[in-house]
Chains A and B, each alone.
Chain A
Amino acid sequence: MDIDLITNILYAMVRTGTPLLIVALGELVCERSGVLNLGQEGMMLMGAVVGFIVTLTTGSLMLGFILAIVAGMLMSMLFAAIALGLNANQVATGLALTIFGTGLSAFIGAGYVGVPITGLEPIAIPYLSDIPLIGKMLFAQDLVVYLSFGLFGLVYWFFKSSRLGLTVKAVGENPHAANSLGLPVMRTRYLAVAFGGGMAGLAGGYLSLAYTPLWAENMVAGRGWIALALVVFATWRADRIIFGAYLFGLASILNLVVQGLGYPVSPNLLAMMPYAATVLVLVMISSNVMKSKMYTPMWLGKPFHPHS
């Protein structure tokens, strides 16, 4: 393999891993506050379709991304109203949200299938992007990829040294104790869910506005589910999430490369590879129960009634 091919593989790896990274970071914050939102897929689809329609009608990518985020947040607030406000079962509510989002996005996007738009263009940073191998990967990407680097840093710092991050962890570990300390348990959870929704919307918007600039029904293709698995297998650690997301990206690209080279392997088998490889590797690194339990939000998925 020549160096250009490797450079391009690395570039595509980050591009492919980005939506997964964004949605998984959002879900990480949400889950560490103790809320399990299985609606990622639905929220991403809504972000994708809303972002696409807005950009198509207004011509503004900026506006498209902003409203994609808003759409994801609105979806997550629907979830929060039912699962937190009414104390419904989080798993059932999240599943319903995904089914709802899948149907609704197909419905409002029906007239837009296959319409082309000009997607978000990469911006190469002068000089830095000429670094061999990693220059293109890190410095010739589009704005959302750069943003995702920042978001990763933000979430990592958030849990490592911010006060609010401490509160989120406390609320997810033991909401009753947190409540008795006077921490705003419900408000923290609403905010965490909203952040998760906004990130899912952004990731959806990235798919329809940058990654493949068009709208197709169910175009998220299971990335929301993979992100959910990623958070668990990454044992709720941001550094492992970024690793897992790019690993998924790499496996997806290698699958295309292998197909392109014409090896006689079933394409179905190859299409399975990214999912299998990501899960397998993350299972291996999370097999140390001792260490992974340190980061597990103990109250995950359990409802909290402040006055019981």
Chain B
Amino acid sequence: MNRQVSATLSGQMRLQLKGITKQYPGCLANDKVDLEIAAGEIHALLGENGAGKSTLMKMIYGVTKPDAGEILWQGAAIDIKNPSMARKMGIGMVFQHFSLFETLTVTENIALALGDEAGDLQLLAKRISTVSKQYGMELNPDRHIHSLSVGERQRVEIVRCLVQDIKLLILDEPTSVLTPQEVEILFVTLRQLAADGCSILFISHKLKEVQALCHNATILRGGKVTGDCIPAEAGATKMAQLMVGADTPISSDYPKATGGEVFLAVENLSKSSEDPFGTSLKKVNFSVRRGEILGIAGVAGNGQEELLAALSGEHLLDSSDPVKFAGRAIGLLGPRERRQLGLAFVPEERLGRGAVPEMSLVENTLLTGFLQGLLNFGFINQGKTEQFSQKIIDDYKVKTPSNRTAAQSLSGGNLQKFIIGREILQNPQLLVAAHPTWGVDIGAATAIHKALIELRDKGAAILVVSEDIDELFLISDRLCAICDGELSPSKATQETSIEEVGRWMTGVFEPSEPTAPQHADSMLNTSTIN
């Protein structure tokens, strides 16, 4: 089918890239990249983080310019000077990090992008309603962005492109913020758009989605094109190896565990958010046993940050009862006391909260490792700190010139391995990890997953909060989901499905009851039967 689509234009492609090269200081981001997209074609650009996908699309959208090579638009060579020129040509772009303004309404946001063409705002609002209905993505034009869910925000970004005369739509990792159901809706919209003649460049690292949606795929690794294929026909393994290279192991399957006694118990945890754009927690109930990994799925901004802050001790609770470590109520204890009781914490932001960007790895070791005998009467024991940091680097294969390197100069994957290693080597009884492999390449993600499983098998309780539902199914023993500050009941991973967790992510569940200890016993019984 895809070949038919490209044949209709009889050789004239909508967009052609020829030998695009872009050099950044110390890194060749794109090396002689060729790419062709026909009218009405959905074309995947596959690659790991750092493969050069973002650089390539920035050049198509006029944000940066290639050092060498040629861009052809509808057959004619063109120099795309800036994003507004790209938009005038009919190129629309949906960014991974949305370029929306929280305090403005949907209409105002779209008016800003349209410039002088926006015209009367009321007419524009009507047009937004019509277009969004036409493509099955209903939107209320008068709502403020901060009141929208992440999925709805993405709709705003897409509708913003659609109200213009669009010929090429670029989507950067569009599904990473959506529930499985929302992904389906998005795909329907995209297919409809393509049928109307719009070309779509779909940037992703998720093979299943590319196979389900795209006509053709171009695969990038290390800035170079490593292959072109028809996703529906090429095998997933082949595409994965083209993405990561032949020598990288890909995580497959881990044995599931059922755990022992409850270590972390959260009962009726309610907390109003301190951020006006945040989400308040509503009667959250769950427990994590020693020797098991509990995964919490959910779309960003549904109370994850608030829950994590309440567990780490960054936000103290109003009373000490709702959170218990091994039966001890700790809701009023600060982060330091909680760490003394066996907590380790991997925050979502690597730079800024997990590590101090300007400081060396040795100094960052001290950041949470100070309880490991690295201090002498308040003075730093340099020797021990250095040893400990070196142990993290060696044990977790952190690629770094030395332990004196600043945290900010490590790649995302390496820094994350360092942070996870630092927390795990403290032998925690409870590890709380937020988005442990977000923006990390497959090799590092596999190493991190293995480390988490090993820690679990040593008897630690582990809580993983993630937006990546595939990851959660891979490593969690038990799963639940958070939606609008409420937590779903949990189920053993084998007994649930992506569809069910997807429904939980949209809030379709009976809130969990505070019956954690008994629940754990019954779970134990069923597991022995299995």
Chain B residues positioned under 8 Å from A294 (CB to CB): 103, 276
Q: A169-B104, A294-B276 are in contact. Are A183 and B112 (CB under 8 A)?
A: yes
Question: Which residues on A sit within 8 Å (CB–CB) of B370?
Answer: none
Is the C-beta of B358 less than 8 angstroms from some C-beta in chain A?
A: no
Q: Is the interface of A mostly helix, strand, loop or mixed?
A: helix
Partner of B112, one of A181, A289, A293, A298: A181
Q: Which of B11-19, B26-34, B82-90 contacts A (4 or more CB under 8 A)?
A: B82-90
How far is the CB of A179 from the nearest CB of chain B, in Å?
8
How many pairs of A and B residues are in contact by the CB < 8 Å rule? Answer: 56
Quote the shortest CB–CB distance from B156 to chain A (angstroms).
12
Query: Please, which residues of chain B bring their CB within 8 A of the CB of A178?
Result: 99, 101, 112
Consensus secondary structure, chain B interface: loop
Q: How far is the CA of A144 from the CA of B423 in the complex (A)?
A: 65
A181 B113 Cβ-Cβ under 8 A: yes
| Distance of A118 Cα from B415 Cα, bound (Å) | 70
Indicate whether B441 reaches chain A with its CB closer than 8 angstroms.
Answer: no
- CB contact list, A78-133 vs B, under 8 A: none
Docked CA distance A183–B87 (Å): 12
Fill in one digit per residue for B152-187: 1 if any A CB lies within 8 Å of its CB, else 0: 000000000000000000000000000000000000
**Is B333 at the interface (CB under 8 A from chain A)?**
no
Total number of A residues with any Cβ neighbor in B under 8 Å: 23
Residues of A within 8 A of B274 (CB): 289
B375 contacts the other chain (CB 8 A): no
**A166-B112, A290-B276 in contact; A182/B102 too (CB < 8 A)?**
no
Q: Is A174 an interface residue (CB 8 A)?
A: yes
**A294 and chain B: residue at smallest CB distance:** B103
| Contact among B64, B98, B101, B118 with A170 in the assembled complex (CB-CB below 8 Å) | B101
A181 in complex: contacting residue of B64, B83, B276, CB < 8 Å: B83
Chain A nearest CB, measured from B144 CB (Å): 8
Query: In the assembled complex, how far is the CB of residue A67 from the closest CB belonging to chain B, in whole angstroms?
Result: 35
**Given A180-B63, A182-B87: A166 in contact with B95 (beta carbons within 8 A):** no
Minimum CB–CB distance for A160 against chain B, Å = 11
Query: Within 8 Å of chain A (Cβ to Cβ): is B111?
Result: yes
- For the complex, what is the distance from the CA of A290 to the CA of B95, rounded to whole Å? 28
* Interface residue? B306 (CB, 8 A): no
Interface residues of A in 160-198 (CB under 8 A from B): 163, 166-167, 169-170, 173-174, 176-183
Task: Tell whether, in the assembled complex, residue B276 and residue A180 are in contact, meaning their CB atoms are under 8 Å apart.
Answer: no
Answer yes or no: B115 CB below 8 A from chain A CBs: yes
Residues B100-155 near A (CB distance < 8 A): 100-104, 108, 111-113, 115, 118
Smallest CB separation, A253 vs chain B (Å): 36
B71 to chain A, nearest CB (A): 18
Q: Contacting B100 at CB < 8 Å: which of A167, A177, A179, A289? A: A177
Check: A149 CB closer than 8 A to any chain B CB.
no
> Whole-angstrom distance between the alpha carbons of A237 and B1 in the complex?
57
Check B101 against A173 for contact (C-beta < 8 Å). yes
A157 within 8 A of B: no
Which of chain B's residues has its CB closest to A307's CB? B64
Distance to closest chain A CB from B180 (angstroms)? 28
Note all chain B residues with C-beta closer than 8 A to A179.
83
Given contact pairs A166-B108, A293-B276, A294-B276, A182 touches B101 in the complex (Cβ within 8 A): no
Minimum CB–CB distance for B69 against chain A, Å:
20
Task: Provide a sorted-by-A list of 9 A–B residue pairs whose CB atoms are within 8 angstroms.
Answer: A170-B104, A170-B112, A178-B101, A179-B83, A180-B63, A182-B82, A182-B83, A182-B115, A290-B276
Contacts A163-B118, A166-B112, A173-B103 known; list 11 others, CB within 8 Å.
A166-B111, A169-B101, A169-B104, A170-B101, A173-B102, A177-B99, A181-B84, A181-B113, A182-B84, A293-B277, A298-B102
Q: Which 9 A-B pairs have the closest CB atoms?
A: A182-B84, A177-B99, A290-B276, A293-B276, A182-B83, A181-B113, A180-B99, A173-B101, A170-B101
